[in-house]
Chain A
């Protein structure tokens, strides 16, 4: 609650929150708002020459190369982005917490082995690894989410590891141990609650990364597959046509930028609020 109150005091975070809320409403209410079926290739959605219709008139944001309503596709695309963002980051944060806490708490050879594994993952350029994995596995919405989770957990694990190691040395954990508490109780009652802020911050920042990564994968043709709309594959589909119909790149592109920006703004503000040592830096 305190965090939310402080968040409301920062104009940039409030701006980010408003955008996130807006995108969320658009995604949830897509069937109610969308004027057309997003997959319907309409006869009057193309000009007589077979070109997409420009924005305005019957089609608010114009149509795509197949005569589908762009506005409706963008609404359903918001669903795709948010689902992948939430699922991928939920998984990434969970893996990151598990690996980070285990490595930080157990230390010894288990800890070393786990942290060497994260080093190994860090050696792979994230986008390249995601492209490779998505290309090898048959791409679909859930595969894309898993691929992104597989790339994103590493950073969370490293931060959680460092924090857990710091926590384990603290007096209250020592005291708890001296009182005879078991490992389960120490981890779940005393270590995990301290890591929740970190998980929230990196979960939020991670959604920004995910939105960008999903769009890029879909743009390269190894992400969410058409006809299922995603902001990235809308641009992928109309790429060769973009000189004649720039709105097909501009609108989805703007949505990707604004959404990623919003999650970055909120994540950054949360980090300042929840981790006062970082305040005023960077």
Chain B
């Protein structure tokens, strides 16, 4: 166990190093000139040169990369071009809102997905099963921003049940979480269905049936705990992909999280912020990757 853990940590460290190298290239090599972006359009050549020197942009690329790495190790993600603030400070300020949204979204997703998936598995081949699988398919194919806008139109603008946008109360979180949850639920429904079918075919379930246990008890006490492991592990693997959806949903609902921060940064080509958010979500993903096998030992062998 400990050996596997060390190996995974080492792999994660390597991946982070690679990610850092890629983000560094994107940060410094691709865009026109970060110094000019910070200085603004009307700055003199002298000001630009000063900023370049201040950022160490006049040093060799390798020195710059080592400097960037040292900064990362100390939790320094650089300074925003537009807002002139430390990126870490900005991200930490926005993180709680995103975590609330993600937790709510994952809750909705898993609740809907599990219920539908298990119902489908228990009625395998029946009408319910087909309906659930069909709607799961539609959910997987639906564009997030369209669903977000439609929910907004229906439940906020027309019916007035929920606020249009913003942050602060329970009512605010409902529509964003539903948007994330409804769409993700499709994957979980399919996962839960096949996991449940696998478990229901096991010998110990047949034994439980033979003992004369009630169907309810077999499902809840014997099948569910085993079927649920891969699903919990999937939540961890899912977190990184979830982040993309969070950007879209936060942009539509004006949710003040790191997704919105990234979206605003995209429009201003504020690359340090974009990179900071990317790195943060990758770290979140790696942490989840390390935790997932602890929950479901079957993943460990992969």
Q: Of residues A128, A249, A264, which shows the largest number of chain B Cβ atoms within 10 Å of its Cβ?
A: A128
Least CB distance, B10 to chain A, in whole angstroms: 12
Least CB distance, B227 to chain A, in whole angstroms: 14
Residues in A whose Cβ lies below 8 Å from that of B278 = 124-125, 128-129, 132
Determine whether the beta carbon of A222 is less than 8 Å from that of B266.
yes
Residue B22 at the chain A interface, CB threshold 8 Å: yes
Closest to B138 in A: A261
Closest to B130 in A: A12
Residue B162 at the chain A interface, CB threshold 8 Å: no
Least CB distance, B117 to chain A, in whole angstroms: 11
- Convert B243-258 into 0s and 1s, putting 1 for each residue whose CB lies closer than 8 angstroms to a CB of A: 1110110010000000
Residue A29 at the chain B interface, CB threshold 8 Å: no
In the bound assembly, the distance between CA atoms of A268 and B138 in angstroms comes to 13
- Convert A168-206 into 0s and 1s, putting 1 for each residue whose CB lies closer than 8 angstroms to a CB of B: 000000000000000000000000000000000000000
Which of A126, A133, A215, A222 touches B241 (beta carbons < 8 Å)? A126
Closest to B11 in A: A119
CB proximity to A under 8 Å, residues B246-302 = 247-248, 251, 262-263, 266-267, 269, 271, 274-275, 277-278, 281-282, 285-286
Determine whether the beta carbon of B142 is less than 8 Å from that of A136.
no
Residue B184 at the chain A interface, CB threshold 8 Å: no
In the bound assembly, the distance between CA atoms of A126 and B238 in angstroms comes to 12
Which of A127, A261, A265 touches B247 (beta carbons < 8 Å)? A127
Closest to B164 in A: A243
Residue A1 at the chain B interface, CB threshold 8 Å: no
Residues in B whose Cβ lies below 8 Å from that of A124 = 19, 240, 278, 282
Residues in A whose Cβ lies below 8 Å from that of B271 = 136
Residue A43 at the chain B interface, CB threshold 8 Å: no
Determine whether the beta carbon of A123 is less than 8 Å from that of B141.
no
Determine whether the beta carbon of B157 is less than 8 Å from that of A243.
yes
In the bound assembly, the distance between CA atoms of A36 and B255 in angstroms comes to 39
Residue B79 at the chain A interface, CB threshold 8 Å: no
Which of A132, A216, A249, A282 touches B153 (beta carbons < 8 Å)? A249
Residues in B whose Cβ lies below 8 Å from that of A246 = 153
* Known interface pairs A120-B15, A120-B18; A126-B244 also in contact (CB < 8 Å): yes
Closest to B149 in A: A249
Closest to B21 in A: A120
Residues in A whose Cβ lies below 8 Å from that of B146 = 215, 235, 249, 252-253, 256-257
CB proximity to A under 8 Å, residues B133-170 = 134, 137-138, 140-146, 149-150, 153, 157
Least CB distance, B72 to chain A, in whole angstroms: 15
Residue A110 at the chain B interface, CB threshold 8 Å: no
In the bound assembly, the distance between CA atoms of A262 and B61 in angstroms comes to 48
In the bound assembly, the distance between CA atoms of A215 and B286 in angstroms comes to 28
Residues in B whose Cβ lies below 8 Å from that of A220 = 247-248, 251, 263, 266
CB proximity to B under 8 Å, residues A253-282 = 253, 256-257, 260-261, 264-265, 268, 281-282
Least CB distance, A240 to chain B, in whole angstroms: 11
Closest to A268 in B: B137
- The number of residues on chain A lying at the interface, defined by a beta carbon within 8 Å of a beta carbon of chain B, is 44
- The number of residues on chain B lying at the interface, defined by a beta carbon within 8 Å of a beta carbon of chain A, is 49
CB proximity to B under 8 Å, residues A113-146 = 116, 119-120, 123-129, 131-133, 135-137
Least CB distance, A244 to chain B, in whole angstroms: 10
In the bound assembly, the distance between CA atoms of A119 and B193 in angstroms comes to 28
In the bound assembly, the distance between CA atoms of A216 and B244 in angstroms comes to 10
Determine whether the beta carbon of A132 is less than 8 Å from that of B15.
no
Residue B128 at the chain A interface, CB threshold 8 Å: no
Least CB distance, B129 to chain A, in whole angstroms: 12
Determine whether the beta carbon of A128 is less than 8 Å from that of B281.
yes
* Known interface pairs A123-B286, A257-B142; A128-B19 also in contact (CB < 8 Å): no
A-B contact pairs, 12 of them (CB 8 A): A119-B11, A123-B286, A124-B19, A127-B248, A216-B248, A221-B266, A235-B146, A235-B149, A249-B146, A252-B146, A261-B138, A261-B141
Task: Kindly list 17 other residue pairs between chains A and B, CB separation below 8 angstroms, not including A120-B19, A220-B266.
Answer: A12-B134, A120-B15, A123-B282, A124-B240, A125-B285, A126-B244, A128-B281, A132-B26, A135-B269, A135-B274, A216-B144, A216-B248, A253-B149, A253-B150, A257-B143, A257-B146, A261-B137
Could you tell me which A residues sit within 8 Å of B by CB distance? 12, 116, 119-120, 123-129, 131-133, 135-137, 208, 212, 215-216, 219-222, 232, 235, 239, 242-243, 246, 249-250, 252-253, 256-257, 260-261, 264-265, 268, 281-282
Leading 6 A-B pairs by shortest Cβ distance: A127-B244, A253-B146, A261-B141, A260-B141, A120-B18, A135-B266
